[in-house]
Structure 1
Amino acid sequence: GSPDAYDETTEAEDRGVFDWPEDTQSAEDVVKDARDRVIGAIRIDDPVGRLRYLQQRRQVAAWFSNAAVRRAKARPYFESALLVNAAIVPSNFGGKINPLNKYMRELNGAGRKELERSIAVSERKLAVQYGSNLQEDLLDLLQRSWVQHSLVDLFTHDGYDYAGAFYFLSSLIQEAIKDPEECDVLAARVDARKSGIGKEWLQNLCRAGRSNLLYSLLFPDFDANDLERSYEPQAQPDENSGDGQFRASELASLENTDLPELDVVMTRDGLELAAAAEAGAFATAFASSLRTGTQTLLSIHGSLWGAVQSASQSLVSHNQQLKDVDTQLKAAESELNRLSQERVEAEKEIKDARVQAVDEQIEQNQRTEQARQQAQARLNRIAIQESEIDRRAQTLFTQRQRLFSHAIEAQMKLYGGCFQQLRASLPLLTGKVRLERLSKAAQKGYFVIGISGLEDSGGEGRAVRMFGDITEQSEGGVRATASTSRTRAKTQGIPSSVADDALVLVVPENEQITKILKHLNTAERQYAKALKELNIWERYAAQASDLSAAATAAVARRVAGAEAKLEKALSNLEKVDGSLEAANDAFDDIETNKAALDAEVRSLDDTVRKVEDRRLYRVLNSPLLPTAVMLMELHNVTSVTAEFDRDYRVMGSGSARIAVASAYFDIAYASAMLVERFMHNVALVERVSKKLLSREWNGRFAQAFAKVFGGPPTWGKLFGGAGGLLMALDYGLDAEYLYRMGNTGGAVGAGIVAAGGVALAIASVTGSTGLLFLGPAGWLALGVVLALSGTAMMAWFSEESIEIWMRHGPFGQMAEKPFLKEPREAYYRLISLLMGVSVVIEPNPLRGKALRGELDEQDENRLTALREANTRLRVESAIPGLFREVEMVEVKSHLQLVETMAERGYLLGVSDMSNTRVLPIAENESQARVLLEEEFAGGTYVYLSTPYTKNTESQRWLGAVNLTETRSYHWNVRLQLQIQARKGEAPMVFPAPDPEDPLVYNRDDLKHSEPDFTKKDRPFWYDEEVRYYG
């Protein structure tokens, strides 16, 4: 041969069996050449190889999903988009309409595309579709019998090769049950997670038991009663018959071994398992002190246990019948609470009627008795309704008990195989672990796994409360699964049999696993405490750094009024031309028509009398209407003045100053009109009115004015016209601002009010002849109609803060508020809108039950506090666990107890003298009335002891004055949240200003950093909402 042929032969000899030359050409049919030459070919199927290939593809799918998440996080508006996608985009949550979804209409096509890009919607869809296809292929292979028989060959080995087969198959099961939608961490969770085809497959596998080939490979043969006894290893080791059936002795032989020699390990799975063990992949905090073999077996068992636990959650959470019963039970509980409040109110009415009946007259006693009888009838009706609801609730409890028992039995079938596998493979460590009744576990001194040692750990993760309830963290929140008290079990809908017979995992106190668990619990508590302290000090250190102060808002300047100059009126006497004869003729005509004139006067008097008798005239002419008008003007001035700083920042200095000027001008003009109305007989007022307000102008301007408006001008008319024009200017600027904000409907409404202000101005200056076919009354009516209709239209088209954020935020098409385009500021404002923090002061709803002994409470201190506390402060948020994240959230809460002392005296039963004083109670006394603080799923309860209202009667001035002193008490609350989102950045302070307000938190500004109990609705502070019932 030639040298080239020799080189090719040498190169081919150097290549291995599975090594191919790089220049090999691809072909659709690799055996075509052999077929053409009539050479036989054999196709060898490798099911295990196909499973490994699909497993690798699942890893590629996971990488692709993570890459999509990283791509989304690189977008500037990722955090805001994630919130919008989770809270606003879904049309419903749990079958209920999402009220926030309607605000999606504020986003146009470009905004929606930016939202989708910010959370990588298209990339994530591809990842989910890719993962779904792989899951279907993997499940299809695992369910085929020829694939399962191929897997049997892996379980016929010994030692680490046998454990490696468990490691490989358990990893396949984990991949098979993992739904692609669950891997999409950015997807909005609108409903409880669906069971999925993978989880349903594993449920069916466990239900089938050893009749399924895969189950017989993974789990031992056992009876349910075996789980309630300690595990006893077999005297003789299991024989390897080549069928792959579970061999407990083979796994147990690895419990006290270290890493094997590589020469002994023969299979790929065994080598991968040994390599992972050598790298320390299985050395967890729990298993760090154990032998390598134990660590390896614990890891294999943990994989299977996690897969079964994930598949079993849907048995309860997705049970629609159980959900329906729970919904009906909640509705019944709400109805009982409402009836309980009505019962308290009726009892109070009866008590008050009895007290009033002591000092009242006989006639009044009859009315009091009628009120008492009505309240008693109301009590009887409430008792009947409570009895009916209680009967219906008992039926629902029974139904729930049956459904819950079936669900528990189904879960036990899933967990039984894993539990027995754990004990059989690790008999020295876990052989003594067994199931025991909860009521007997404490009596026999067992360590309850998952419960014992966690009573003092606190936090959301604890599994048992001090009164003996076992809870489970499910998708819908914390759910009670068992209780040592039948009463509490009944109130929580737990079957009575479960209350005493709930099975828990126990182990004797002297076992090695018990000591490990105790040391681990102690170490976890110490670590959590140290981490918490570290985070708190880091947050304080971050806050100590200098922050840039915001520019101080410009001080409002009062508009200087121009000094009015009065023109001296030149009176011109009109010369009357005519002779005496003409005057006498006119006098004769008057005498002739006197009778007719008298009749007309009498008719006019009758008309005036009829008008004065009408209800509308009496109302308009009564002193109450001017008083009401004056109160409205005072309220307008107060609100405008209070909102001046905000309006200055939001709408600009011009709008804010015009609004203040209009409000003060209106109240000044209304005051002048009221003075003239009620004090027109006073000489000074009459002189000012005639010579200033009502005096007609003369001159060319006056003549031109009269030609246009039908009458000469006066200062009173001009002041009224100026008020109308100021009103028009004020609302005109509002209309321009609303239009810039995108609120077209509100802008039209404000424009209509502005037109009404112009009409009112014309009505003030128009003379009797009118203007444009309308007299003063017509223009007045038109102005009032326009003002009222425009105001109603503005109220109808008023917008929520979330609408403004959506329209002007990072995904909106408008940019009137540039600070909402900044990523961090937009995210900060959106969190504040969705946080939903409420601070509510309400009567203690548990006090009545505590006093009546209806609470099954073993903690005497808590029970005493519930009896004494008549008030409850409820601080909650729509974000679960917000107030528990003490490492990230700093809650600044301030309580103040206030005493209001009102004195009212009656002089000889006629004169009313009143005096009111408001005095804050000392801080130490206020804190002493805070009896109990406890957390719940949505926030915190604070139980308070509020002093009762006291009435004291006395006499003064030798009995001429009867004085009644009333002392009442109420609580003021100020709350501020500071959340440290990222280290090194200033904390976000809540509540944030509304999306229209560019205000920035300044810790050096005492208005921002210190509470003020004298004012409400201050920026960066939550106020209390008081609710009274019963």
Structure 2
Amino acid sequence: MNQQLKAAQLSNAASDAANARVVQTGSALTDAVDQHRTRNNAPTFRILNSRPFSIAVLMLEMWNVNAEFQGREAASREKNKNRVRLGVLAAGIDLIIAMESLTIKLVGTQSALALARKPIYDLADSNVKRWIGKALTERLTQKITARLITQSFSGIIFAGISLYDAWYAWQWNDNAMYGYLLMAGGAAAGVVAGMATGAASAGPVLGLTPLGWLALLLIGTGASLVLWLSSTPLEDWLLNGPFASEGEDNAKHLKDPQEAFYRLIGLLSGIGISVKQNTLYDPNAKLDIHSENPFEVRSANTLIRIESRLPGLIGSIGSIGIQAECRMREVVTTNFRGSPISTQKNVSGSPPVYKAQRIYMDALELYVDTPKMIITPKKSTGFEWAVRAQFVLKNQSETRYFPAPGVKDPTRFSAAYAKADFNKTNRPFWADEQTNKA
């Protein structure tokens, strides 16, 4: 919209200098100004151009960076490290773009980030015409800015990631590849739309070019298809496991009958961990030999329950043991004028003293005491439990550890997974209270 208004102003100035068609151009400039004002006051544009919308986009990008960072280990095991690095890089670039947009909304051109919108290269004054021709040069955006370069680079990375994900889905016979291909096409269309806005006329809504709308349509449709067509883990096992066609190199670990059976049991194991208030807790509990529940159970305020369907699945093919480890996690929240500004979590290095333990056919219950929250004007200190659990299946020929890795994860058990790690979640062979919520 600003480009169209500026073009009308330049046209008016040129006409005044030539002293020709002043009346007609003045009328065109007035129409352009009125059109600009009408669009600027449109409800949809006001919403999209508002600070709350920019804040929402920034929050979405922060969530995207966190999701890419949290899932990097699982993605590197299933895919490869370069795919993970590109995903984190693309999310980081998008976050920077969102931060720049919000900063301009809040402080305007006074911000140092406003330099990103100043032209750093002018195609009209360059020698590009000699290489690609005058007609094509005029169709490109004449003023190249750092923001435009960054957006185009982000779009190229997004297109590359989508193409890789499509190829990876094709290897696993996953129909989600069609969605990834559409997303790659949308990303490419978005890059072209950003570079070709110089000669594009206003679109039907909000001045967006047809290529821009095509990019939005392809990416939105592709994301919907990915959600709709993506195979479930059980479908991945059926399509690529021992019953699949021969010659598939991507799932060699599933061609081994023993390993495939192990992964199938892992899918159906139903491991769950819950940390909740003990319903049997009595703050004034006393020793009572006639009580249905022991004193140690009634005097603990927190119940940690670890459950699984493994005993019912394996039947008599082996014995199941549970290795459970718990640590107290201290959550310190710093306050400023009554509002939290930072949170720090520290995990205790020593195991707790369990007040009681109960073993069932399909579960293990641990009874512990959780300290009360400590609140001061400057900070508050809360306490929660970090839980790591491992189910060990033993028979005469082998030992297997659950939770098993994902169907697409070729990881085998090794000494690196022999001990629980309270600084990581979603690790193979170890269940945690966040990934395996009951």
Query: Which interval holds the TM-score relative to the shorter structure?
Result: 0.7 to 0.9
Which residue in the other structure is 2:55 paired with?
627
| Aligned residue identity for 1:951 | I
Q: Secondary structure at the match of 2:41?
A: helix
Deviation at 1:703, TM superposition (A): 4.4
Deviation at 1:647, TM superposition (A): 3.1
> Is 1:840 matched up with 2:274?
yes
Identity %: 22
- The superposition leaves residues 838-883 of structure 1 with CA deviations (integer Å, 9 ceiling, x where unpaired) of 11112223347x9899xxx855594323332222111111133799
| Aligned residue identity for 1:997 | D
> Is 1:993 matched up with 2:420?
no
| Aligned residue identity for 1:650 | E
Deviation at 1:996, TM superposition (A): 0.3
> Is 1:1009 matched up with 2:427?
no
Contact kept? 1:676, 1:689, Cα under 8 Å: no
Which residue in the other structure is 2:360 paired with?
936
Which residue in the other structure is 1:783 paired with?
215
Report the TM-score when normalising by structure 1: 0.36
Deviation at 1:657, TM superposition (A): 4.6
Q: Secondary structure at the match of 2:326?
A: strand
Q: Secondary structure at the match of 1:724?
A: helix
Deviation at 1:625, TM superposition (A): 2.7
Q: Secondary structure at the match of 1:753?
A: helix
Deviation at 1:896, TM superposition (A): 0.9
> Is 1:586 matched up with 2:16?
no
Deviation at 1:976, TM superposition (A): 1.4
CA distance in 2, matches of 1:770, 1:600: 19
> Is 1:918 matched up with 2:348?
no
Structure with bigger helix share is 1
Contact kept? 1:713, 1:765, Cα under 8 Å: no
Alpha-carbon spacing, 1:608–1:841, altered in 2? closer, same or farther (3 Å): same
1:747 to 177, 196, 209: 177
1:976 to 350, 370, 390: 390
Q: Secondary structure at the match of 1:880?
A: helix
CA distance in 2, matches of 1:585, 1:920: 76
> Is 1:804 matched up with 2:236?
yes
What is the root-mean-square deviation in Å for CA atoms of aligned residues?
A: 4.0
Contact kept? 2:94, 2:154, Cα under 8 Å: yes
> Is 1:763 matched up with 2:190?
no
2:430 to 1008, 1017, 1021: 1021
Q: Secondary structure at the match of 1:1013?
A: coil
CA distance in 1, matches of 2:312, 2:386: 24
Which residue in the other structure is 2:369 paired with?
945
Contact kept? 1:883, 1:940, Cα under 8 Å: no
CA distance in 1, matches of 2:240, 2:143: 48
CA distance in 2, matches of 1:705, 1:632: 39
Deviation at 1:1023, TM superposition (A): 0.6
Contact kept? 2:269, 2:308, Cα under 8 Å: yes
Q: Secondary structure at the match of 2:19?
A: helix
Q: Which runs of 5+ in 2 are unaligned?
A: 1-14
Which residue in the other structure is 2:157 paired with?
726
Structure with bigger strand share is 2
Alpha-carbon spacing, 1:988–1:597, altered in 2? closer, same or farther (3 Å): closer
Report the TM-score when normalising by structure 2: 0.79
Alpha-carbon spacing, 1:624–1:696, altered in 2? closer, same or farther (3 Å): farther
Deviation at 1:695, TM superposition (A): 7.3
1:558-577, aligned counterparts within 5 Å? none
CA distance in 2, matches of 1:713, 1:795: 38
CA distance in 2, matches of 1:833, 1:681: 55
| Aligned residue identity for 2:186 | G
CA distance in 1, matches of 2:436, 2:408: 30
How many residues align structurally? 414
| Aligned residue identity for 2:253 | F
Contact kept? 1:698, 1:712, Cα under 8 Å: no
Deviation at 1:769, TM superposition (A): 2.7
Q: Secondary structure at the match of 1:714?
A: strand
CA distance in 2, matches of 1:675, 1:622: 12
Deviation at 1:740, TM superposition (A): 2.0
CA distance in 1, matches of 2:27, 2:125: 36
Which residue in the other structure is 2:262 paired with?
828
Which residue in the other structure is 1:637 paired with?
65
> Is 1:735 matched up with 2:166?
yes
Q: Secondary structure at the match of 1:998?
A: coil
Contact kept? 2:103, 2:111, Cα under 8 Å: no
| Aligned residue identity for 2:237 | W
Q: Which runs of 5+ in 1 are unaligned?
A: 1-581, 953-962
Q: Secondary structure at the match of 2:209?
A: helix
Contact kept? 1:903, 1:964, Cα under 8 Å: yes
Q: Secondary structure at the match of 1:875?
A: strand
> Is 1:706 matched up with 2:130?
no
| Aligned residue identity for 1:935 | I
CA distance in 2, matches of 1:711, 1:1027: 51
- The superposition leaves residues 730-756 of structure 1 with CA deviations (integer Å, 9 ceiling, x where unpaired) of 111211221221112x11111111111
Contact kept? 2:122, 2:143, Cα under 8 Å: no
Contact kept? 2:179, 2:221, Cα under 8 Å: yes
